[in-house]
Structure 1
Amino acid sequence: METLVSPATGGYVADVRPVAQTERIQSLDVLRGVALLGILLMNIQGFGLTEASLQQLVRNPHGGNYWLMTLVHVLFENKMRALFSMLFGAGILLFLAKSRTGSGMAAPELLIRRQLWLIVFGLINAWGLLWHYDILFHYGIVGIFLFPFNRLSPRALLLCAVFTGLIYSGKVYWKFTEQKQAYAKFQQVTALEKKNKKGKLTDEQKDDKSAWEGMVKESQYDRKKDKADVLAMRSDYASVWNHQAPKIKRMEAPFFYQIGLWDITSMMLLGMALFKWGFFSNQLSTKDYALLATGGLLIGQVMAWFSLPTYEMAVVDFTRYVSRNSLPVSDFLMPFERAFSAIGWASLVLLLYRLGIASWLWKAVRSVGQMAFTNYLMQSVLCTLFFYGYGLGYYGDLKLYQLYFVVAEVWLIQTVFSTVWLTYFRFGPLEWLWRSLTYGAWQAMRLRSNPQPTATAAILA
Structure 2
Amino acid sequence: MSNIHHPDRNDRYAHIDALRGIAVFGILLVNIWSFIWGFNSLRYGVLPATASLFDVLSVAFVAFFAEQKFYPIFAFLFGASFVLITRSAKQKLGRWSDAEQLYRRRMKWLLACGIVHGVLIWFGDILTVYAIAGFWVLSGLANARLRKVRKHLYVWLGVFFALLLLNFFLGAQLFGADDLATQSKNEVYGVEAARMIYTYGGYFSIAVQRIRDYISVTTQSVFILPHIAVLFLLGVMSVRRGWLTQPWRHTTLWRRVRLIGFGIGIPFNLAWAALILSEAIDPLHPSPYSYIAYAWLPVGGVCLAAGYVACLMLAGPAIQRWAADWLAPVGRMALTNYLMQSLLCSVLIQGFGFGLGATLPPAGWLSIAFGVMLLQLLLSRWWLSTHTQGPLEALSRRYINKAKVAG
Q: TM class by shorter-chain length?
A: 0.7 to 0.9
- Code of the residue aligned with 2:168 in structure 1: it is Y
Matched, 1:94 2:84: yes
Task: Give the 3 Å change call, closer, same or farther, for CA 368–317 of structure 1 in structure 2.
Answer: closer
Task: Give the 3 Å change call, closer, same or farther, for CA 59–115 of structure 1 in structure 2.
Answer: farther
- Code of the residue aligned with 1:246 in structure 2: it is R
Task: Give the 3 Å change call, closer, same or farther, for CA 317–88 of structure 1 in structure 2.
Answer: same
**Tell me, what secondary structure is at the counterpart of 2:112?**
helix
Identity of aligned residues (%): 24
Whichever of the two has the greater Rg, that structure is: 1
Structure 2 counterpart of 1:451: none
Decide whether the 8 Å contact of 1:165 with 1:335 is kept in 2: no
Offset at residue 135 of structure 1 (A):
0.4
- Code of the residue aligned with 2:158 in structure 1: it is F
Q: Distance in 2 between matches of 1:321 and 1:288?
A: 38
Structure 2 counterpart of 1:35: 23
**Tell me, what secondary structure is at the counterpart of 2:319?**
coil
Contiguous gaps of at least 5 residues in structure 1: 1-20, 187-210, 444-461
Task: Give the 3 Å change call, closer, same or farther, for CA 59–164 of structure 1 in structure 2.
Answer: farther
Task: Give the 3 Å change call, closer, same or farther, for CA 393–107 of structure 1 in structure 2.
Answer: same
Q: Distance in 1 between matches of 2:387 and 2:86?
A: 24
Q: Greater CA deviation, 378-387 or 271-280?
A: 271-280
Structure 2 counterpart of 1:136: 127
Offset at residue 386 of structure 1 (A):
1.0
Give TM-score, length-normalised by structure 2. Answer: 0.83
Structure 1 counterpart of 2:186: 218
Matched, 1:370 2:332: yes
Q: Distance in 1 between matches of 2:185 and 2:307?
A: 38
Task: Give the 3 Å change call, closer, same or farther, for CA 331–159 of structure 1 in structure 2.
Answer: same
Decide whether the 8 Å contact of 2:14 with 2:324 is kept in 1: no
Task: Give the 3 Å change call, closer, same or farther, for CA 243–389 of structure 1 in structure 2.
Answer: same
- Code of the residue aligned with 2:154 in structure 1: it is L
Task: Give the 3 Å change call, closer, same or farther, for CA 311–229 of structure 1 in structure 2.
Answer: closer
Offset at residue 250 of structure 1 (A):
0.4
Decide whether the 8 Å contact of 1:80 with 1:342 is kept in 2: yes
Match of 2:402 among 423, 440, 452: 440
Structure 1 counterpart of 2:3: none
- Code of the residue aligned with 1:229 in structure 2: it is R
Q: Distance in 2 between matches of 1:69 and 1:139?
A: 27
Structure 2 counterpart of 1:251: 217
Decide whether the 8 Å contact of 1:125 with 1:377 is kept in 2: yes
Structure 1 counterpart of 2:299: 336
Structure 2 counterpart of 1:350: 313
Q: Distance in 2 between matches of 1:320 and 1:240?
A: 29
Aligned length: 387
Structure 2 counterpart of 1:267: 231
**What does residue range 136-155 of structure 1 map to in structure 2 within 5 Å?**
136-147=127-138, 148-150=140-142, 151=144, 152-153=146-147, 155=150
Offset at residue 62 of structure 1 (A):
7.9
**Tell me, what secondary structure is at the counterpart of 1:425?**
coil
Give TM-score, length-normalised by structure 1. Answer: 0.74
Decide whether the 8 Å contact of 2:239 with 2:245 is kept in 1: yes
Decide whether the 8 Å contact of 1:164 with 1:265 is kept in 2: no
Q: Distance in 2 between matches of 1:40 and 1:357?
A: 23
Query: Once superposed, what is the RMSD of the aligned Cα atoms?
Result: 3.3
- Deviations along 1:9-55, whole A, 9 cap, x unmatched? xxxxxxxxxxxx98662221111111111111111222245666934
Q: Greater CA deviation, 92-101 or 45-54?
A: 45-54
Structure 2 counterpart of 1:413: 375
Task: Give the 3 Å change call, closer, same or farther, for CA 272–339 of structure 1 in structure 2.
Answer: farther
Offset at residue 288 of structure 1 (A):
4.1
**What does residue range 4-403 of structure 1 map to in structure 2 within 5 Å?**
25-49=13-37, 54-57=44-47, 63-98=53-88, 99=90, 100-101=92-93, 106-129=98-121, 131-147=122-138, 148-150=140-142, 151=144, 152-153=146-147, 155-156=150-151, 158-160=153-155, 162-173=157-168, 175-176=170-171, 215-219=183-187, 221-222=188-189, 226=192, 229-253=195-219, 255-257=220-222, 259-283=223-247, 284-308=249-273, 316=282, 321-322=287-288, 328-352=291-315, 354-357=316-319, 359-403=321-365
**Tell me, what secondary structure is at the counterpart of 1:357?**
helix
Q: Distance in 1 between matches of 2:11 and 2:317?
A: 20
Decide whether the 8 Å contact of 1:138 with 1:252 is kept in 2: yes
Decide whether the 8 Å contact of 2:79 with 2:235 is kept in 1: yes
Offset at residue 104 of structure 1 (A):
11
- Code of the residue aligned with 1:267 in structure 2: it is L
Offset at residue 271 of structure 1 (A):
2.0
Q: Distance in 2 between matches of 1:282 and 1:387?
A: 42
Q: Distance in 1 between matches of 2:322 and 2:216?
A: 42
Decide whether the 8 Å contact of 1:160 with 1:266 is kept in 2: no
Decide whether the 8 Å contact of 1:75 with 1:301 is kept in 2: no
Q: Greater CA deviation, 100-109 or 300-309?
A: 100-109
Task: Give the 3 Å change call, closer, same or farther, for CA 409–60 of structure 1 in structure 2.
Answer: closer
Decide whether the 8 Å contact of 2:76 with 2:231 is kept in 1: yes
Q: Greater CA deviation, 150-159 or 41-50?
A: 150-159
Task: Give the 3 Å change call, closer, same or farther, for CA 118–310 of structure 1 in structure 2.
Answer: same
- Code of the residue aligned with 1:279 in structure 2: it is W
